[in-house]
Each structure stands twice: as structure tokens, then as C-alpha cells.
């Protein structure tokens, strides 16, 4: 990643979208390692380049905004994350078809933010909308659908709505076993959370 960035900085204009993409990729690496202080300025620089070099409703800008929002979310910086998620959603709603998987991802991420804050009434319709989009746009056994179903089930579990949560957990588990395998970490998480709900209920 560093080498790619160095090549871009020598051979391309300073506001070229390829440089933004490579900066974003390196930031994503640092984010996944918990190296947040190193990731943040790279995400910010990528967004600044996007804003100069791309149309204001370009999906790549939405992706970079979403990635910075995810970084803030990971740090508990919810007030900084929320407007970035909302802006990413607004861009994607303008620039992509209404049932595009990217929109589902952004809606789901904002729902996770609200869920983490206990804003359940705001989170639920976002989860439901994301699920509806994924059901239209991706295969019926896609792992993304399993994740969306699992997180909505978690929301219902947090509210004590066990009868609504259970079929979502079961459907998520079935999809995950089929698409990822029984030993995949996501499948195991889904199973553990379902069992925990059964213990509570």
C-alpha cells in the first residue's frame, strides 16, 4: 500500500481518485489493526481528494465517508460518525439504484450505530430496509443477508422480543452454514448469540 501511494504521488496529480483509493485501502488496514490514529488522517485525506476530483454524489465518496464513520464508530465517537453515515446514505440514494447492495450496507451501519446507542426505534426500520434491499439484490443464501438478519435479531433480543428474534436467528444460521460453513467465525457467533437468547427466554 505504501509503495502504491508513493508511485501515485510521483506520477499522478495530487487530487487523483486513484490516490484516494490507495490511501483509503491503507487506512482500512490500519483500522483493522486498531491503529486508529494512523488511519484517520488517511481517510480524511482520501475524502478531501474525492471532494475535489469527483462529482458530489459519486459512490466512491460515499464509501470513503462510510469508512471514516466506521472508524469513529469503533472508537465510540458516535456523534462524529452519524453525520458521515447520513451523508453516505444520501449520496448513494441519489447515485445508485434503490435496491443496490451498497445502500443496504450504509443503512445497516447506521442502524448498528443507533443500536449501540439504544436508539432502537430508529435502528429497526433501517435494518428492515437493508434486509429488503439485500433480499432483492443478492442471492438468497448470501452471507450479507445472514449478517443483516442476525443483527436485527440482536436488536429484538435486546428489547425482549424473543419470538420475533428467534426466526431471524434461525434463518441467519441456516444461511451462514450453507454459505460459510459451520466452523466459520460468523456462523459460530450467530449460534452463540442464539443460544444466549434461549437461555434468557
How far, CA to CA in Å, does 83 sit from each of 79, 87, 197?
Answer: 7, 6, 33
pLDDT of residue 200: 83
pLDDT of residue 88: 97
Q: What is the mean pLDDT of each run of 10 residues along the chain (201 residues)?
A: 97 96 97 97 97 95 97 97 98 96 96 97 98 96 96 97 97 97 96 94 73
CATH topology assigned to domain 1-96: 1.25.40
Handedness of CA 113, 40, 145, 102 (dihedral sign): positive
pLDDT of residue 201: 73
Mind giving me the DSSP string for 68-113? Answer: HHHHHHHTT-HHHHHHHHHHHHHHHHHHS-TT-HHHHHHHHHHHHH
The closest alpha carbon to 176, from 163, 162, 193, belongs to 193
Q: With a threshold of 0.95, does the pTM exceed it? A: no
pLDDT of residue 161: 96
3-class secondary structure, 182: coil
Amino acid at each position: 500500500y505504501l509503495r502504491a501511494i508513493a508511485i501515485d504521488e510521483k506520477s499522478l496529480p495530487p487530487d487523483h481518485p486513484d490516490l484516494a483509493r490507495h490511501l483509503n485501502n491503507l487506512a482500512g488496514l490500519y483500522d483493522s489493526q486498531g491503529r486508529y490514529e494512523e488511519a484517520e488522517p488517511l481517510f480524511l485525506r482520501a475524502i478531501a481528494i474525492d471532494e475535489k476530483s469527483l462529482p458530489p454524489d459519486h459512490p466512491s465518496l460515499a464509501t470513503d465517508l462510510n469508512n471514516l464513520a466506521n472508524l469513529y464508530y469503533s472508537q465510540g465517537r458516535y456523534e462524529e460518525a452519524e453525520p458521515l453515515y447520513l451523508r453516505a446514505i444520501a449520496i448513494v440514494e441519489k447515485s445508485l439504484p434503490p435496491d443496490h447492495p451498497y445502500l443496504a450496507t450504509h443503512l445497516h451501519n447506521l442502524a448498528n450505530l443507533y443500536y449501540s446507542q439504544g436508539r432502537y426505534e430508529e435502528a429497526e426500520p433501517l435494518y428492515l430496509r437493508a434486509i429488503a434491499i439485500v433480499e432483492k439484490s443478492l442471492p438468497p443464501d448470501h452471507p450479507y443477508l445472514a449478517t443483516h438478519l442476525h443483527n436485527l435479531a440482536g436488536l429484538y433480543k435486546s428489547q425482549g422480543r424473543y419470538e420475533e428474534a428467534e426466526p431471524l436467528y434461525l434463518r441467519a444460521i441456516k444461511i451462514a452454514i450453507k454459505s460459510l460453513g459451520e466452523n466459520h467465525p460468523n456462523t459460530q457467533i450467530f449460534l452463540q448469540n442464539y443460544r444466549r437468547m434461549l437461555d434468557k427466554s
